[in-house]
């Protein structure tokens, strides 16, 4: 069971990548903003980029927490 935590870490990493990609493609990509005239596409792109950046930061925080948990668990053994 020595390598189990690293496999868990890799599994979570891939789940976040696949789940996040699916979320971006299925929910965020069809999002459209109207009512700003010529700025519709610019505001639409800025909102989508902002959502994507927030998700990336969230993924990094989650992966950092899991990494720290794995290292603390291995150090304590």
d(CA 41, CA 2): 51
pLDDT at residue number 1: 56
Exposed, middle or buried by CB within 10 Å (0-12, 13-18, 19+), for 44?
middle
Evaluate whether residue 34 is within a structural domain.
no
Evaluate whether residue 62 is within a structural domain.
yes
The number of domains in the chain is 1
Question: What range defines the domain where residue 66 resides?
Answer: 52-77
Evaluate whether residue 70 is within a structural domain.
yes
Evaluate whether residue 11 is within a structural domain.
no
Evaluate whether residue 8 is within a structural domain.
no
Evaluate whether residue 72 is within a structural domain.
yes
Residue 47's closest CA among 62, 22, 30, 61? 30
Phi and psi torsions of 57, nearest 5°: -60, -40
pLDDT at residue number 76: 73
Residues whose CB is less than 8 angstroms from the CB of residue 32 and which lie 6 or more positions away in sequence, other chains included: 40, 44
Query: How confident is the model over 12-33, as pLDDT tens digits?
Result: 889 988 988 888 889 888 888 8
| pTM recorded for the entire structure | 0.74
Evaluate whether residue 69 is within a structural domain.
yes
């Amino acid at each position: 069971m020595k390598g189990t935590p690293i496999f868990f870490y890799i599994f979570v990493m891939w789940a976040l990548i696949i789940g996040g990609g699916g979320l971006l493609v299925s929910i965020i990509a069809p999002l459209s903003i109207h009512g700003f005239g010529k700025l519709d596409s610019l505001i639409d792109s800025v909102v989508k980029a902002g959502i994507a950046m927030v998700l990336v930061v969230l993924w990094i925080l989650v992966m950092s927490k899991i990494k720290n948990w794995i290292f603390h668990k291995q150090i304590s053994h």
